[in-house]
Structures are given as C-alpha cells and as structure tokens.
Amino acid sequence: MAEQRVIKAALLGLGTVGKGVYKLAERQMKEMADKTGAILEIVKILVHNMEKPREGVDQALLTDCWKDIISDNEIEIVIEVMGGMEPARTMILEALAAGKHVVTANKDLVAESGRELLDAAENTGADFLFEAAVAGGIPIIRPLKQCLAANEIDEIIGIVNGTTNYILTKMFEEEMSFEEALCKAAELGYAEADPTADIEGLDAGRKVAIMASIAFHSRVVFSDVYTEGITKISKRDIAYAREFGNVIKLLGVAHNTETGIEAAVHPMMIPKEHPLASVRDSFNAVFVHGDAVDDVMFYGRGAGELPTASAIMGDVIDVMRDILYHCTGRISCTCYRDTKVKEFREVKNPFFLRMQVDNKPGVLAAIAGVFGVHKVSISKVAQKVITDGIAELVIVTEAVKEYHLKDALTCLKDMDTTREISSVIRVY
Ligand code: NAP
Ligand code: HSE
C-alpha cells in the first residue's frame, strides 16, 4: 500500500486560539486523514516566551525563531494565530512569497491589509483563508464568497462581538448597569484586561470591513467604518427600549445602496421580533439579505478556543484538499468592483432621542421648530418624568441623514431650555 501523503504545517502563536487549533488537530488527526487523503502534521510552533509552561504540547515543536519556519521548505501551511499587525503581516507576506499557504484568524490585519495579503497569495497561487477572522466559529466568509455567490447582497447586519452582546443582555434581562455588566464579563473571561476594542465597537468594525468587502465585491477597510460603542447606554435607555417593544444591540451594519456602501457599528434599537433580538449572552449572529436567497441568518459562538479553532481547521482542511487536487489559489480576492464607501454623514437612520428640558410652555414647539429647520421629521414624542421643573422628553424621529440630525442637536444643545441631551440611539 502506498504511504499516505503528509502535509506539514506551522502554527504561529499558542494562546487561546493556538491551543484550540493544536488540540483539534490532534483530536481530528485520523478523521482528517480519512476526509482529505493526507495526514496533517504540525511540525513547528512559534511562540514569544519559550519559558511558559505549555501543558499537553510537545515542547520539541516550540521555537521563538521565525527563520526556523520560513526557511523550512517542507512546511506547506502556516496557521497565524498570534494577532496584531506586526510581525504577523510581514510573516504572512514572507510565507506567501515562499509559496506557503496561510490560514489566519487575524481580523485586525485582514481588515487593514486584506488586499495586500490576497494579492501576495495570488502572485504565488497560494491559498489565503481567514474564516475565523469574523464571528469565530460561525461560517460566514465561505458562505458569502461561495454559497451565496449567485446573489446581489444588499444588507448585512451582525452581532459580531460577544463581549458587548453579553453586557447588553445582562443590562436588558437583569437590569445591571453597564459597569456591573462589564465587570461580570471580565470575571467570565469575555472582556479582556483592556476592553476598549470590544466596548468601543472597534473589534466589530474590523469584522464589518471584512464582511462588506466580500459581500459587496469592493474593498472596505477599517477606517471606512463608522464606529460607536456601548459605553453611553444607560438603564433608562434599556427601559425605554423595552417599553417600545425593542431591544438594544451593538450592530455591525453594512448596506450596498445606489449611492454607495454604508458601513458602521453602533448600538441600535431593534424590534423584539427581529431574529437578531433573540441572540443573547455572548452569542454572535449575522443576518444577510440577498436578492435570490432572501433572508439568511448565521448563528453561533463568535469566539473561544474551540469554536475559533473549528473555523481555522475548516480552512486548513480546505487547503489540504486544494493541495492534493492541485487547485490552490482557486478563490482569491473577490473585490472586482470599485463601489465607494459613503461618508457616514450621508447615511439615514431613524433616531431615539432622550433629553432633559425645562418644563414650561413653548419648549416642545421650539424643539419641533429646530427639527423642522433641519429636515428632521418626528414620528413619536413622549414626556416621561417631571422633577423640579424638568421634563424628560423622548423623541423618535423618522429616518434622517446623520448630518441633519447632528446639526439639529447642536442647535438644541444651545437652547436655554435644554438641560441635557442624554441619549442618541439609532433605531432599526
Ligand atoms: P493570545 O491568547 O494573546 O495568544 C497569542 C499567541 O501568539 C501567544 O501564544 C503568544 O506567545 C504568541 N505571540 C504573540 N506575538 C508573538 C511574536 N511576536 N512572536 C511569537 N509569538 C507571538 O491571542 P488569541 O486570543 O489566541 O488570538 C489570536 C488571534 O485570533 C488574534 O488575531 C485574534 O484577533 C484572533 N481571534 C481570537 C478569538 C478568541 O476567541 N480569542 C476569536 C476569533 C479570532 P506567548 O504564548 O509566548 O506569549
Ligand atoms: N473579543 C471578541 C468578542 C472575540 O468579544 O467577541 C474576538 O473577536
């Protein structure tokens, strides 16, 4: 019997995700050989700190020297799970230039340098796959590039950050404050020591850039995506959302419109009947609308050791099959259009506004006047609390361009009768 083909791989990074990849590769060794017709062998693992104990990992595989990997011609696949821009970018470019195939989970890098990396892969006919970079274990890159390829996709809305979804779920279901829910998220290991990228919407913004590029066939980079986090969401906003039959979610929103691509991340009130409203806890989901398929939703674990490793190993298995069937580089960059990204100020949304104003005759009429001047149409008004001559006004607007709303708010802030504009939240 002929000896089975062995495909050698190197792992860059042995943190949360790297450990998951190592474990899954071990666990699936026999199955993978049966599935693909080749044996995957991880022959080197790049780490930063050689002294750290690495339970369950063959110490002989560890190295802190990139040269050991890049100059090993037998290594065909490089799995990058270090994170960050550099040295990950340089290592991936060098690996691709050397004809190695690369699988990565690095959203920061793909959202910023996706074109450069995909071009480098195309130059050598290598595979460059990054399923785990968006929504961890949820398949979304491959569905967008392949399964839904016959569609004109016009909308992607996603809950693509587990930490913030957990926080908002706790605020909604257990009436916790933002600070309490953030502490709980940190205790459970969802929120990192520095949670800025999650709570300010930056992590989700990178994922939106990647999904929009693929869905709309035009390059969208992270700096094209408007980002706003959840730090200003208060218990009162949550209570109003509930009263109006809504929930508040941090949404990544991308639309392909006649006037350009819209790409943003911000908290949004969505009706509780919307499929994304029932995505609780640290789960992620991505809702896609295509002209042929209609609505599709992808739901699951957006992070974590094994869910993320699941997406990475799916890519690795694809690369192994491509190697064996001599068809690597088959699906490369799909950005064959050049649709521009709209300036966010031109994007239209309905808004929920909560403000504290003097409770006296003529104030509401004056506010309505300001809105009229700035083309803001009001759909609902409620006056909720009156204390010491101050009224809490809640106004829901019709869809209005961002800059019209912003101009109106500037005028409202300047009015003597306005004490505070407490909340400005977009409505689906
Ligand atoms: P992590 O736990 O911080 O692990 C990073 C690993 O990379 C560590 O093993 C570290 O080595 C190694 N490393 C970092 N810089 C290095 C350098 N310059 N040279 C050599 N080794 C280096 O990170 P992670 O959570 O596994 O995330 C990895 C990637 O997956 C990131 O791109 C992240 O965005 C992405 N991702 C993560 C998740 C998740 O659930 N965590 C989900 C989806 C995507 P030492 O062990 O020696 O310190
Ligand atoms: N920090 C991310 C989250 C996981 O909370 O969903 C990695 O993308």
Q: Which of helix, strand or coil describes residue 185?
A: helix
For residue 412, what pLDDT band results from cuts at 50, 70 and 90? very high
**CA 362–ligand 1 middle distance (angstroms):** 58
Average pLDDT of the segment spanning 94-116: 97
The CATH fold of domain 5-136+305-324: Rossmann fold (3.40.50)
Q: Which ligand approaches the C-alpha of residue 162 most closely?
A: 2
> Residue with the nearest Cα to atom 7 of ligand 2?
303
Cβ 302 under 6 angstroms from ligand 2: yes
pLDDT at 3 over 90: no
Provide the token pair at 287: 């809702």
Q: How far is the CA of 253 from the centre of ligand 2 (A)?
A: 17
The CATH-assigned architecture of domain 141-300 is 2-Layer Sandwich (3.30)
Each residue's pLDDT tens digit, 217-227: 999 999 999 99
**What is the CA angle 195-199-202, rounded to 5?**
95
Q: What is the mean pLDDT of residues 173-192?
A: 92
Would you call 276 helix, strand, or coil by DSSP?
A: helix
Cβ of residue 318 lying under 6 Å from some atom of ligand 2: no
Q: Looking at 14-18, 45-49, 196-200, 330-334, which range is the least confident one?
A: 330-334
Is residue 83 lining ligand 2, measured as CB closer than 6 Å?
no
Position in ligand 1 atom list of the atom nearest CA 107:
34
Q: How does residue 1 score in pLDDT terms, banded at 50, 70 and 90?
A: low
Strands (E), 106-259: 128-129, 153-159, 226-227, 246-257
Q: What is the pLDDT of residue 385?
A: 77
Q: Which atom of ligand 1 is nearest to the CA of 311?
A: 43
Identify the residue whose tokens are 């450990």. Answer: 19
Give dist(CA 289, CA 156) in Å, integer.
7
Task: At 102, list the tokens.
Answer: 């690369």
What's the rounded Cα separation, in Å, for the pair 407 and 306?
Answer: 47
Closest by CA to 110, choosing from 196, 209, 205, is: 209
pLDDT in tens, 305-322: 999 999 999 999 999 999
Which is nearest to 202 in space by CA: 108, 279, 87?
108
In the chain, where are the structural domains located?
5-136+305-324, 141-300, 347-427
Token pair recorded at residue 116: 């450069």
Average pLDDT over every residue of 230-245: 96
- The pair of structure tokens assigned to 52 is 């750290």
Could you tell me if 124 and 225 are in contact, meaning their C-beta atoms sit under 8 angstroms apart? no
- Judging by DSSP bridges, how do beta strands 390-397 and 378-387 pair with one another? antiparallel
Instruction: Identify the DSSP state of 267.
Output: E
Given a contact cutoff of 8 angstroms between Cβ atoms, the answer to whether 45 and 62 are in contact is: yes
Residue from 107, 207, 249, 342 carrying the catalytic annotation: 207
Question: Catalytic residue at 8?
Answer: no
The partner residues of 296 in beta bridges, in order of sequence, read 288
And the tokens for 239? 């209570």
* CA of 266 relative to ligand 1 center, distance in Å: 26
163 lines ligand 2 (CB under 6 A): yes
Say which CATH topology domain 347-427 has.
Alpha-Beta Plaits (3.30.70)
Please state the φ and ψ torsions of residue 153, each to the nearest 5 degrees: -90, 130
pLDDT, mean of residues 74-101: 98
Residue 275 CA to ligand 2 centre (angstroms): 21
Give residue 48 CA to ligand 1 midpoint distance, Å. 10
> Cα-atom radius of gyration of the chain, to the nearest Å?
24
Is the pLDDT at 384 greater than 90? The verdict is no
Which of 11, 12, 47 most suits a substitution to test ligand 1, by most atoms within 8 Å of the C-beta?
Answer: 47
Report which ligand 1 atom has the smallest distance to the Cα of 54.
Answer: 46
CA dist., res. 202 & res. 199, Å (int): 8
Pocket mutation for ligand 2, best pick of 104, 106, 138, 190 (most atoms within 8 Å of C-beta): 190
What pLDDT, in 10s, does the model give residues 149-168? 999 999 999 999 999 999 99
Is 402's pLDDT higher than 80?
Answer: yes
At residue 386 the predicted structure's pLDDT band, cuts being 50, 70 and 90, is confident
pLDDT of residue 192: 79
Tokens 């521009």 found at: 340
Residue 414 Cα, ligand 1 centroid: separation in angstroms?
48
Ligand 1 pocket at CB < 6 A: 13-18, 46-49, 52, 81-83, 87, 105-107, 132, 136, 303-304, 308
- The yes-or-no answer to whether 5-136+305-324 and 347-427 have a common fold is no
Task: Give the global pTM.
Answer: 0.96
Q: Around Cβ 69, how many Cβ atoms within 10 Å?
A: 23
- The tens digit of pLDDT for each residue in 238-296 reads 999 999 999 999 999 999 999 999 999 999 999 999 999 999 999 999 999 999 999 99
**12, 14, 17, best to mutate for ligand 1 pocket (most atoms within 8 Å of CB):** 17
The reply to whether ligand 2 has any atom less than 6 angstroms from the CB of 205 is: no
**Closest among 67, 87, 76 to 41, alpha carbons compared:** 76
